Structure 1
């Protein structure tokens, strides 16, 4: 017998009735997310300076990072100089994005930017098996200027390019980044959810400290990284 608390067991008709009641709220949430996305598409934008970042092959202008596309998503990866393992949350989040080719059909690209020197950043990328393209802002104020200062943390920014002119169209940080994570979407449909103490769960549900079930960077490297 399981030692965990379990949901009540009911007949199929009762279960279908409860599911239908939940579906009403799920559909309402979907419509609200559609409305939020519509408002996001109507946001104004702000023109960006002509930043120069460091890429694998040397300096690159922000406008060039778009490649052939007019839209760009940038994840700002936290960085601690000299650390063997960088932020586990950032490392885990970005490890999810292994097949981004579909973005090209929507005229967009998704890259990582970090404050770490480009050589160290690329070494870390290989170490943890990350497949996204990385750029460094070690010699630029770009990260700090868009809400991801060296000592401040992570963020997501979206940009639009018109010719050689780049505009900032959207920004989020903290839990705002969760909407981009497929892992949380899967976990949140499980009966026990994230199993973290802050969640509203029935009495007896398994719960532990926040982040306690997240993979550490070394575990991600063991799963996806290059062999030593």
Structure 2
């Protein structure tokens, strides 16, 4: 997910969207008033920063518009079967992953049986979400799914020091094929999916679809907003994400 710092021109937002319109907003340039000055900044820096602030406000608004359009999606497809997973505590059905909530987020982790070690990118993101999980689980359920045997998943969880992520093995099920696009010879794809439980019916609500075919020149494909805090932090720096750096499982010399 590394990329250069160039940004493509924004596309028209939400064409054909059914999301309800929000309240009228003041032009971003009218409210782009920095809340503070910092020592030593020049007037040229100040002008450029105000222009950037207006674009940051527009970006925030665009994120809100996209989120509203996502929430307004019509009902998704009914989940075709109650998949049988292996959890850290034994067998569990897909319907059981919802627990006390009616919304479930799943992440398909690239740690299939053919891998000696899990994907570093997936692991970096999951390590960040580990810290947020006590808060996330107040609102929705969250399950990390991989096709390796549950024993391998538990061993790596202990190695990594994860405490809050809930891991499930999908080995022997069609879940990864149905919701991560796994096919013979291409059987280790990552995928975020959101499911709902309404009146006893389990439906797919949303899934990430920004694959290689959606990448812009000089950039890796990624979600929007990007789910990895790592990249969000690096995007705040003058060096940016870079073009060829990726996280590793270990940085021992």
TM-score of the aligned structures, taking structure 1 as reference length: 0.78
> Over residues 13-43 of structure 1, what are the superposed CA-to-partner deviations in whole Å (9 max), with x where a residue is unaligned?
2211100111111111111111110010011
Any residues of structure 2 matched to 1:145-156 within 5 Å, and which? 145-149=178-182, 151-156=187-192
Q: Is 1:84–2:116 an aligned residue pair?
A: yes
Deviation at 1:163, TM superposition (A): 4.9
| Aligned pairs, number | 195
Deviation at 1:57, TM superposition (A): 1.5
Q: Is 1:189–2:236 an aligned residue pair?
A: yes
Question: Where does residue 102 of structure 1 map in the other structure?
Answer: 135
Gap change, CA 1:85 and 1:178, over 3 Å in 2: farther
> Over residues 120-173 of structure 1, what are the superposed CA-to-partner deviations in whole Å (9 max), with x where a residue is unaligned?
111122222333110010021111101242624101001111254311101115
Q: Is 1:35–2:65 an aligned residue pair?
A: yes
Any residues of structure 2 matched to 1:60-139 within 5 Å, and which? 60-81=92-113, 83-97=115-129, 98-106=131-139, 108-131=140-163, 132-139=165-172
Deviation at 1:177, TM superposition (A): 7.0
Question: Where does residue 142 of structure 1 map in the other structure?
Answer: 175
Q: Distance in 1 between matches of 2:138 and 2:113?
A: 37
Q: Distance in 1 between matches of 2:249 and 2:156?
A: 10
> Which of 155, 167, 191 is the equivalent residue of 2:203?
167
Alpha-carbon RMSD across the aligned residues, in angstroms, is 2.0
> Which of 42, 48, 53 is the equivalent residue of 1:12?
42
Gap change, CA 1:161 and 1:120, over 3 Å in 2: same
5+ long unaligned stretches in structure 2? 1-39, 212-221
Q: Distance in 2 between matches of 1:178 and 1:86?
A: 24
Deviation at 1:52, TM superposition (A): 1.5
Deviates most, 10-19 or 150-159: 10-19
> Over residues 175-199 of structure 1, what are the superposed CA-to-partner deviations in whole Å (9 max), with x where a residue is unaligned?
1276222221111011111122xxx
Moved over 4 A (4+): none
In 1, are the aligned partners of 2:112 and 2:188 still within 8 Å (CA)? no
Residue aligned with 1:79, SS = coil
Q: Distance in 2 between matches of 1:17 and 1:146?
A: 47
Residue aligned with 1:179, SS = coil
In 1, are the aligned partners of 2:128 and 2:229 still within 8 Å (CA)? yes
Deviation at 1:12, TM superposition (A): 2.4
